[in-house]
C-alpha cells in the first residue's frame, strides 16, 4: 500500500510529464484544515471535494468545499492564480457524536452570490441542506432515520432541477427527495412502481406528497456511487455486488450492465460525449464500457490496490487527424503491450487514412495505493481490436470467485448478510418492508407480502446465478478478449489513500485521506511563483 517495504515513506512526485507537457504541483495552493493537526485517518470517512463558481455579473468567484473527519470547510478557491489562505474559511461546521459527513453536492442551477444550495449526507443516513454563503436556515431530511438507517455514499442534485436530489446508501437503496416537501415523522410505506430482473423502483403510499418521492432498490449490497450522463437522460450505478448498471432515468428501464472480475465496483464516470463509461473498484482494474454497444471494450491495470475514483478529463479529449500517435514517451511506460494486436499501437488509423477521424479520450484514476494513473485511448484503438481467436473457449473454474463473499447455488439464501454488514436485496427489502400491514391480497396497487418475498427471492437467485457465470462472457470478458489499456502516467502523489480527482480547465485537483487537497497546474498554466518543497522524501 502506501508504505515502502523498508518501512519508510516512498518518494512523492511533485511534477510529471504527459504528451501535452509538464504537470506541476502548486504547493501554495494546498487546502486543508487550518490547524493541520494529525488525526487517525483509518477512523474517518473518505475526504471528498465539491466546487461551485458564483458569478456576480462582473467576475466569477470559485469556491471549494470539503469534509475532513467530522468537520466541513468552505474556502474561496484561487486555483493556480493565488496562494490559499487557510486562516479565513468562508464557513466551517463541526458535527458532534458519531454522525460524520460522507458526501456533498452543490446545486449548480440555483447558485448565486446571494446563496447556494448544498446537500450533505451523513454516516447515519441523514441528509442536510445548508447554505454556506447566505447562511439561511438549514433543512434536515430523514432526521429520525425513519426512511433509511445506513450511511449515505453519494449525493447528487438531479440535473436541470431546482429541488430534486438523489441519495444512495450502503443498504443498496437510492432515494429521490424533493427539498420543498415538508418533513414527515412517520415511516414510509411503499408500493412498486417499476420492477426488473435485479432492481425495483418504489413510491410511497400516501394521500399527500411526501419524501422519499421514489426509492430505487438495486442489486446486492451497497450502491457505492452513481452518476448522471451529461445529457441527463441516464444514470449509472456501481454496487458492492460488482455490477455496473445503467438506467434510463425517466422510464426507469435498465439499459445495460457489466460485472467486475471480483469484488465490488466503487466508482463511475461518463465520457464528455456519453459514448463511454469507465468504472473502477476492488479488482484493481479500470474498465471502459461502450454505451452504444453495451459491452466492455477495454480494461487497464495500473493500480496495486482498490481504485477509489475515476474521472474523464474533458479538456484533453480531442479529434485526431489520421495516422497520429496519441502516445508520448514517458518513463511510466516501461514496456509495450506484448500481446498480438490486429493493428499497431502507434498507428491509430488504417494505412489509407479513410473514414472519419477518431476521438482520443483521457481519464484519470486514483486509489488506495496512493497512485495517480492517467489513461489515453482512442475509438479507433478499442473498436478495431479483435481478440486472438485461437482460443475457442474461455476456461471458467468450476468454482468461480465469489463476489463479495456471497454464497452461490443452493447454499445461498435470501437472508444472507455480507461481511461488511450490508444486507442482500431480499433482506433490505424486508428490513423496511413495502408495508408492515400488508395482507395476502392486492389493494390500492400494493402487493402482498408473500408475493413480494417470492419476487425478492427470485431477484437474489438471479443475481447470484449471473455473477457466478459472468466471467468469460460479454458481461465480464477475460483480459484476452478486450483491448488492454496501459497507463500513460503512474505516479505516487500522496502518503495516504487518494479519495478525490477533479479535472478543471487549467488544473487538476486531488485529495487524500489526510485531508490535504492539492492543485496540479496543467502545462503552461502556472499562475504564480511556486517554491520548491524542502521536506525530505519529495521530488521536484
Q: HEC states along 270-332?
A: ECCCCCEEEEEECCCEEEEEECCCCEEEEEEECCCCCEEEEEECCCCCEEECCCCCCCCCCCC
Which SS3 state, helix, strand or coil, does residue 468 take?
helix
- Alpha-carbon distance of 306 to 262, in angstroms, equals 11
Region of residue 350 (phi > 0: left; psi between -120 and 50: alpha; otherwise: beta)? beta
CA atoms within 13 A on the CB side of 151: 21
* Residue-level pLDDT at 443: 41
**Which residues lie across from 51 on neighbouring strands?**
64
Q: Please, are residues 428 and 417 in contact by the beta-carbon 8 Å criterion?
A: no
What nine digits make up the cell of 164?
Answer: 430534486
Cβ atoms within 10 Å, residue 147: 25
Q: State phi, psi for 221 to the nearest 5 degrees.
A: 80, -170
CA distances for 427 relative to 217, 423, 459, 467, angstroms: 11, 6, 12, 19
Q: Please, are residues 187 and 136 in contact by the beta-carbon 8 Å criterion?
A: no
Q: Please, are residues 71 and 93 in contact by the beta-carbon 8 Å criterion?
A: yes
- Alpha-carbon distance of 288 to 299, in angstroms, equals 6
Q: How many helices (H) and strands (E) does the chain have?
A: 3, 35
Sign of the Cα pseudo-torsion (467, 473, 479, 483, in order): negative
CA 41-44-46 angle, 5° bins: 95
Q: Please, are residues 178 and 209 in contact by the beta-carbon 8 Å criterion?
A: yes
For 407, residues 6+ apart whose C-beta sits below 8 A from its C-beta are 413, 416, 464
Q: Please, are residues 232 and 159 in contact by the beta-carbon 8 Å criterion?
A: yes
For 236, residues 6+ apart whose C-beta sits below 8 A from its C-beta are 226, 227, 229, 244, 245, 246, 247, 268, 270, 277
Whether the full predicted model's pTM is greater than 0.75, yes or no, is yes
Closest C-alpha to 24, from 11, 13, 35: 13
- Alpha-carbon distance of 1 to 9, in angstroms, equals 11
* Residue-level pLDDT at 185: 83
- Alpha-carbon distance of 285 to 299, in angstroms, equals 7
Cβ atoms within 10 Å, residue 245: 25
- Alpha-carbon distance of 480 to 394, in angstroms, equals 9
SS (H, E, C) 360-412: EEEEEEEECCCEEEEEEEEHHHHHCCCCCCCCCCCCCCCCCCCHHHCCCHHHC
CA 211-214-216 angle, 5° bins: 135
* Residue-level pLDDT at 2: 41
What tens-digit pLDDT sequence spans the chain (540 residues)? 444 433 346 789 999 999 999 999 999 999 998 876 555 555 578 999 999 999 877 777 999 999 999 999 999 999 998 889 998 899 999 998 888 999 999 999 999 999 999 999 999 999 999 999 988 778 999 999 999 999 999 999 999 999 999 999 999 999 999 999 988 888 999 999 999 989 999 999 998 999 999 999 999 899 999 999 999 999 999 999 999 999 999 999 999 999 998 889 999 999 999 999 999 999 999 999 999 999 999 999 999 999 999 999 999 988 766 544 444 434 443 333 333 322 222 333 333 445 567 889 999 999 999 999 999 999 888 888 887 654 433 333 333 333 333 333 333 333 333 333 334 444 444 334 333 333 333 444 445 667 656 655 665 666 666 666 677 788 899 888 999 999 999 999 999 999 999 999 999 999 999 999 999 999 999 865 444 333 333 332
Amino acid at each position: 500500500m502506501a508504505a515502502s517495504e523498508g518501512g519508510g515513506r516512498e518518494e512523492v512526485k511533485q511534477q510529471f510529464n504527459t504528451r501535452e507537457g509538464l504537470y506541476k504541483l502548486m504547493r501554495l495552493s494546498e487546502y486543508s484544515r487550518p490547524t493541520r493537526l494529525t488525526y487517525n485517518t483509518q477512523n474517518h470517512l473518505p475526504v471528498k471535494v465539491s466546487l461551485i463558481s458564483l458569478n456576480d455579473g462582473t467576475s466569477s468567484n470559485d469556491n471549494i468545499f470539503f469534509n475532513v473527519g467530522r468537520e466541513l470547510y468552505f474556502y474561496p478557491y484561487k486555483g493556480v492564480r493565488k496562494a490559499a489562505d487557510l486562516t479565513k474559511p468562508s464557513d466551517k461546521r463541526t458535527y458532534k457524536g458519531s454522525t460524520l459527513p460522507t458526501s456533498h453536492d452543490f446545486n449548480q442551477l440555483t447558485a448565486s452570490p446571494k446563496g447556494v444550495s448544498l446537500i450533505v449526507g451523513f454516516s447515519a443516513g441523514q441528509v442536510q441542506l445548508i447554505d454556506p454563503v447566505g447562511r439561511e436556515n438549514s433543512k434536515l431530511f430523514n432526521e429520525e432515520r425513519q426512511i433509511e438507517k445506513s450511511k449515505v455514499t453519494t449525493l447528487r442534485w438531479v440535473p436541470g432541477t431546482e429541488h430534486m436530489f438523489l441519495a444512495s446508501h450502503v443498504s443498496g437503496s437510492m432515494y429521490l427527495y424533493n427539498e420543498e416537501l415538508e418533513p414527515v415523522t412517520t415511516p414510509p410505506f411503499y408500493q412498486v412502481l417499476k420492477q426488473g430482473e435485479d432492481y425495483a423502483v418504489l413510491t410511497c403510499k400516501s394521500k399527500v406528497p411526501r419524501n422519499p418521492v421514489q426509492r430505487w432498490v438495486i442489486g446486492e449490497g451497497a450502491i457505492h456511487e452513481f452518476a448522471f450522463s451529461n445529457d441527463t437522460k441516464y444514470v449509472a450505478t456501481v454496487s458492492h455486488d460488482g455490477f455496473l448498471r445503467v438506467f434510463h432515468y425517466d422510464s426507469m428501464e435498465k439499459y445495460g450492465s457489466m460485472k467486475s472480475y471480483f469484488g465490488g465496483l466503487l466508482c463511475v464516470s461518463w465520457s464528455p460525449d456519453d459514448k463511454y463509461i469507465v468504472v473502477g473498484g476492488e479488482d484493481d482494474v479500470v474498465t471502459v464500457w461502450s454505451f452504444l454497444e453495451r459491452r466492455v471494450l477495454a480494461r487497464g491495470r495500473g493500480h496495486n490496490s482498490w481504485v477509489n475514483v475515476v474521472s474523464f478529463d474533458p479538456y484533453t479529449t480531442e479529434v485526431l487527424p489520421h495516422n497520429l500517435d496519441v502516445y508520448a514517451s514517458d518513463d511510466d511506460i516501461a514496456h509495450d503491450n506484448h500481446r498480438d494486436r490486429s493493428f499497431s499501437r502507434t498507428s491509430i488509423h488504417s494505412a489509407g487514412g479513410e473514414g472519419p477521424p477518431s476521438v482520443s479520450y483521457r481519464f484519470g484514476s486514483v486509489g488506495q495505493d496512493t497512485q495517480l494513473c492517467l489513461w489515453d485511448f482512442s475509438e479507433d484503438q478499442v473498436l478495431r481490436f479483435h481478440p486472438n481467436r485461437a482460443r475457442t473457449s474461455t476456461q471458467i473454474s468450476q468454482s468461480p470467485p465469489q463476489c463479495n463473499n456471497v454464497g452461490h447455488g443452493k447454499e445461498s439464501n435470501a437472508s444472507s448478510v455480507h461481511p461488511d454488514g450490508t444486507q442482500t436485496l431480499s433482506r433490505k427489502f424486508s428490513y423496511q418492508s413495502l408495508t408492515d400491514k400488508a395482507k395476502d391480497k392486492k389493494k390500492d396497487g400494493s402487493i402482498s407480502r408473500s408475493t413480494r418475498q417470492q419476487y425478492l427471492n427470485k431477484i437474489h437467485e438471479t443475481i447470484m446465478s449471473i455473477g457466478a457465470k459472468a466471467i468469460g462472457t460479454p458481461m465480464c470478458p477475460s483480459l484476452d478478449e478486450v483491448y488492454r489499456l496501459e497507463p500513460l502516467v503512474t505516479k505516487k502523489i500522496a502518503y495516504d489513500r487518494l479519495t478525490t480527482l477533479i479535472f478543471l480547465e487549467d488544473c487538476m485537483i486531488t485529495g487524500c485521506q489526510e485531508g490535504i487537497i492539492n492543485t496540479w497546474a496543467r502545462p503552461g498554466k502556472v499562475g504564480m511563483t511556486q517554491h520548491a518543497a524542502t521536506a525530505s522524501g519529495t521530488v521536484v
